[in-house]
């Protein structure tokens, strides 16, 4: 019994651990057709060096991006055209923020911080799939950590060395 318990614990610990080992998103599930706050957790620098820049790419189908400013960091919103027009509470939207960049800060390797932005997950996104927000950590001495790998069909994020942070999409909650 004791042995079995320990093994169960170990298996769970391993499974849960790998999911949060890298730059990741705090709330891992969200319904489509809703406003969602993406919180990126940065657990370490690059090879021991402090993080100076965090960039995150906004995937297609994610609109109305509003980043949360951070003291000590310069915020930049890179705008661009979407691949198609999305419906935002009745308003057709065909361009917006496609990349968010926090720069000019310094987050030491032995410190932890969070970077947040609010988005609207359009109903064009498919429930059941995982939506990825590729993120790049740029550090001093030209080092970088790129959390940009998206699992191919049949692959899991655990197979990847540099998995992009992702959020599992749920069915839209019925009406308002």
Partner 1 sequence: MKNSVRGDHAFMALLAGIVWLCLTSIAMAHASLTSAEPADGAVVQVAPQRFSLSFSEPVSPLALKLVRPDGQTLALDTFVLRDRTLEIEPPEGLSPGTYVLSWRVVSEDGHPVAGSAVFSIGAPSGAAPAVTEADDWPVRVALWIGRVGLYAGLFFGIGGVFASFWLLRGSDRGGACFAVVIVVGLAGTILSAGLQGLDALGVPLSGLFDSIAWRAGLGTSFGRTVIVMTAALLLAALATLPRLKPWGHWLACVALLAGAGALALSGHASAAAPQWLTRPSVFLHAATIAIWIGALLPLAKAVRDGGTGAEEALRRFSLFIPYAVAVLVVAGLVLAVIQVEHPAALVETAYGNVLLVKAGLLLVLFALVAVNRWLLTKPALAGETTAVRRLLRAIVVETVLVLAIFAVAATWRFTPPPRALAIAAAQPASFHIHTDKAMADVTISPGRTGPVTVSAIVMTTDFGALDAKNVSFVFSNPAAGVEPIRRKAFKPGDGTWQVDGLVLPLPGTWTVRLDVLISDYELARLQGEIAIRP
Told to check if 108 binds partner 1 by CB under 8 A, we report no
Q: Per-residue contact track with partner 1, 30 to 69, x per CB under 8 A?
A: -----------x-xx--xx------x-x------------
Closest residue by Cα to residue 19 from 4, 5, 29, 30:
29
- Assigned token pair, 74: 């310069």
Spatial strand order of the sheet with 62-67 comes to 24-25, 34-42, 113-121, 62-67
Applying CB under 8 A, does 8 fall inside the site for partner 1? Answer: yes
Calpha distance 35→118 (Å, rounded): 7
Distances in Å between the Cα of 147 and the Cα atoms of 2, 8, 111, 115 are 38, 29, 18, 15
- Measured from the CB atom, the residue of 33 and 96 that comes closer to partner 1 is 96
State in angstroms the smallest separation of the CB of 34 from partner 1.
22
Contact residues: partner 1, CB under 8 A:
1, 4-5, 8-9, 12-22, 24, 28, 41, 43-44, 47-48, 55, 57, 109, 112, 134, 136, 146, 148-149, 162
């Amino acid at each position: 019994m004791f042995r079995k318990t320990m093994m169960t614990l170990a298996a769970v610990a391993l499974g849960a651990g790998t999911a949060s080992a890298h730059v990741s998103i705090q709330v891992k599930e969200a319904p489509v057709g809703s406003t969602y706050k993406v919180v990126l957790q940065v657990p370490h620098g690059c090879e021991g060096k402090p993080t100076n820049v965090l960039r995150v790419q906004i995937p297609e189908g994610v609109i109305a991006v509003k980043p949360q400013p951070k003291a000590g960091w310069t915020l930049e919103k890179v705008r661009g055209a979407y691949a198609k027009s999305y419906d935002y509470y009745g308003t057709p939207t065909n361009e917006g923020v496609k990349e968010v960049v926090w720069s000019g800060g310094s987050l030491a390797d032995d410190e932890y911080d969070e970077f947040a932005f609010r988005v609207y997950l359009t109903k064009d996104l498919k429930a059941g799939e995982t939506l990825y927000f590729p993120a790049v950590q740029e550090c001093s001495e030209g080092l970088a950590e790129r959390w940009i790998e998206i699992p191919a069909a049949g692959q899991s994020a655990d197979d990847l060395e540099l998995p992009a942070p992702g959020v599992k999409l749920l069915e839209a909650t019925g009406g308002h």
